[in-house]
Amino acid sequence: MGRERPAAVLFDRDGTLIADVPYNGDPARVEPVPGALPALTRLRRAGVPTGVVTNQSGVARGLVHAADVAAVNARVEELLGPFDVWAVCPHGEDDGCGCRKPAPGLVLAAARSLGVDARDCVVIGDIGRDVEAARAAGARGILVPTPLTLAHEVSAAGEVARDLRAAVDLILDAAPPARHGAAGGNPPGRGPAAGAPARGGAGAAEPAGYGPGGGRTA
């Protein structure tokens, strides 16, 4: 049951790789999310290119300079290692650009820069528009919610992982790894049904027991 290894994994920045400090222009305030570096290291060791796709509308709003965003991004790389591509949208909500997520532009630009097809990429983010941008670009989206992620964003996401480690498990098809099963049985909470979100879409081919709305299995 192996998926092909993705051509690249593209991460949202704020709230996904680093703590979300709105309109941050100060490199000293960059704080990686726990588990970010090990997750990235696993992907890099597996030979999977990594990138960042980030909305920075603070630039358009005059709340942060583009140079400050660049300094913050450089600090991210100091702490989390080099990414193969960065795609940044500096526009505002009303600019009508094609790159601000949930538009697909950042994902498409990152894929183009890497010389890969967006449909072979994975996008990991913490809110609905990350997943929507992935979907719009034809990529696979994985939501890693934070306490600020809205319930409807979780239920609308096709795939949800509890943290970056679990997201990389999904990507590298490593869950549950055999080496952890030597003592017998699956680790608690790692079964296929654990935490499976109710799918809100018009799923035509959902397996029994996963009907929309839940509670319809009887």
Residue 30: CB minimum distance to Mg ion, A = 14
143 vs 166, beta carbon nearer Mg ion: 143
- 8 A C-beta contact, residue 140 and residue 134: yes
14 annotated active-site: yes
Figure out which of the listed residues 6, 12, 103, 122 binds Mg ion, where binding follows CB under 5 A: 12
Q: Which does residue 135 bind out of Zn ion, Mg ion, none, counting CB within 5 to 8 angstroms by kind? A: none
94 annotated active-site: no
- 8 A C-beta contact, residue 34 and residue 82: no
By CB under 5 A, residue 14 contacts Mg ion: yes
Footprint of Mg ion on 89-148 (CB under 5 A): 126
173 Cβ contact partners less than 8 Å away, ≥ 6 residues apart: 1, 2, 3
Residue 55: CB minimum distance to Zn ion, A = 8
Residue 127: CB minimum distance to Mg ion, A = 5
Residue 13: CB minimum distance to Mg ion, A = 7
Task: Select which of 14, 68, 130, 169 is catalytic.
Answer: 14
Footprint of Zn ion on 79-118 (CB under 5 A): 89, 91, 97, 99-100
Figure out which of the listed residues 6, 7, 8, 15 binds Mg ion, where binding follows CB under 5 A: 15
47 vs 59, beta carbon nearer Mg ion: 59
89 vs 124, beta carbon nearer Zn ion: 89
One-letter amino acid for residue 178 of the chain: A
Which residues contact Mg ion (rule: CB under 5 A)? 12, 14-15, 126
Which residues contact Zn ion (rule: CB under 5 A)? 89, 91, 97, 99-100
Which residues are the active-site residues?
Answer: 12, 14
